Amino acid sequence: MKQAMMRKVLYSLLPIVCAGIYFFGLRVLALLIVVTLFACLTEWVFVRKTTHKITEAVLITAILFTLTLPPQTPYWIAIIGIIFGVLFGKMVFGGFGKNPFNPALVGRAFIYVNFPKFMTVEWTKPVDGLLGGFTTYLGQPIDAITQSTPMLIYRATGETAPIKDMLFGNIAGSIGETSALLIILMGIYLIYTKTAAKETIFSVLAGFLIMDSIFYFSGFQQVPNPIYGLLAGGILFGAVFMATDPISSPKTFQGRIVYGLLIGCITVIIRGFALFAGGIMFAILIGNTFAPILDEAVNAIKNRKKLPVKEGK
């Protein structure tokens, strides 16, 4: 089933996939192919006896899910994650257009909780050279916390990675979350083509910066400075590609503003005070649970304002 909006999202993800291969190796492509195959197979099992076909949305789910994984993620864990995400994040609710949660994040959260070692400890150094990972299967594994992801390094040592490396992607991390500059450029494309709701993106970032600034300038050492926090840990990727999912996010303008602010604030709290170094994944899933309520509240307020005022009141 062809979907114009999904295709634009697909176009925006292709450069990030290529960057993931460049930084971490051809294993990224192999992992993406395996994940996509099982994502399509899972959806096909549910639609094969109907007139419906596999949607383009499942391809987006597979790519997004893959981009949130560490490059070394075992194939079998990735398969379990995408099957769980498509099955329990989408198909059990009736398929495309009916899922209350982002399926890619449902799958990612499931394997994150059940297989934490593979999702939080085993990272990969970016590949050097002009052609980068296009000439190798996988970059060198990292065996020291001081060389891992920017947020893990900060939490363990208080040290910060170079801003330049985080902008261009020369850091360890999940496949699609390392290059802040590339994510920003793709976000501009999605906003320009009216594919992603700009109010959601900006409110997520605003909520994050406000809450992060409050804790940072109040002296909480476990919270990094706002700019560093914005470029590290996948907040940009989550704001641009995950929070803007048109199905699991609010439909009203005001609802999206509150939704985004909520996600941004919760991300900072989880990062600084919970066990998880990232936070954006769980923050978006929490935001998904509030999306219908926010729309109901906004519509109720609008309808109340439209009610005629009785004479004598």
What CATH number did the domain enclosing 66 receive? 1.10.3430
Task: Specify if 231 maps to a domain.
Answer: yes
Spatial distance between the Cα atoms of 109 and 115, rounded to a whole number of angstroms: 10
Structural domain containing residue 65: 4-299
Task: Specify if 304 maps to a domain.
Answer: no
What's residue 313's pLDDT? Answer: 45
Q: Note whether 50 and 159 are within 8 A (CB).
A: no
pLDDT in tens, the chain (313 residues): 446 788 899 999 999 999 999 999 999 999 999 999 999 999 999 888 776 688 889 999 999 999 999 999 999 999 999 999 999 999 998 887 889 999 999 999 999 999 988 888 889 999 988 898 999 999 998 876 656 788 887 877 778 888 898 999 888 889 999 999 999 999 999 999 999 999 999 999 999 999 999 999 999 988 989 999 999 878 999 999 999 999 999 999 999 999 999 999 999 999 888 877 778 999 999 999 999 999 999 999 888 877 665 555 4
Query: Tell me, what DSSP letter sits at residue 94?
Result: T
Task: Specify if 287 maps to a domain.
Answer: yes
**How many independent structural domains does the chain possess?**
1
Spatial distance between the Cα atoms of 116 and 125, rounded to a whole number of angstroms: 19
What's residue 176's pLDDT? Answer: 93
What's residue 157's pLDDT? Answer: 79
What's residue 148's pLDDT? Answer: 73
What's residue 23's pLDDT? Answer: 95
Task: Specify if 236 maps to a domain.
Answer: yes
Task: Specify if 172 maps to a domain.
Answer: yes
Q: Note whether 42 and 87 are within 8 A (CB).
A: yes
What's residue 309's pLDDT? Answer: 55
Task: Specify if 175 maps to a domain.
Answer: yes
Task: Specify if 310 maps to a domain.
Answer: no
Spatial distance between the Cα atoms of 110 and 303, rounded to a whole number of angstroms: 39
Q: Is 206 exposed, middle or buried (0-12, 13-18, 19+ CB in 10 A)?
A: middle
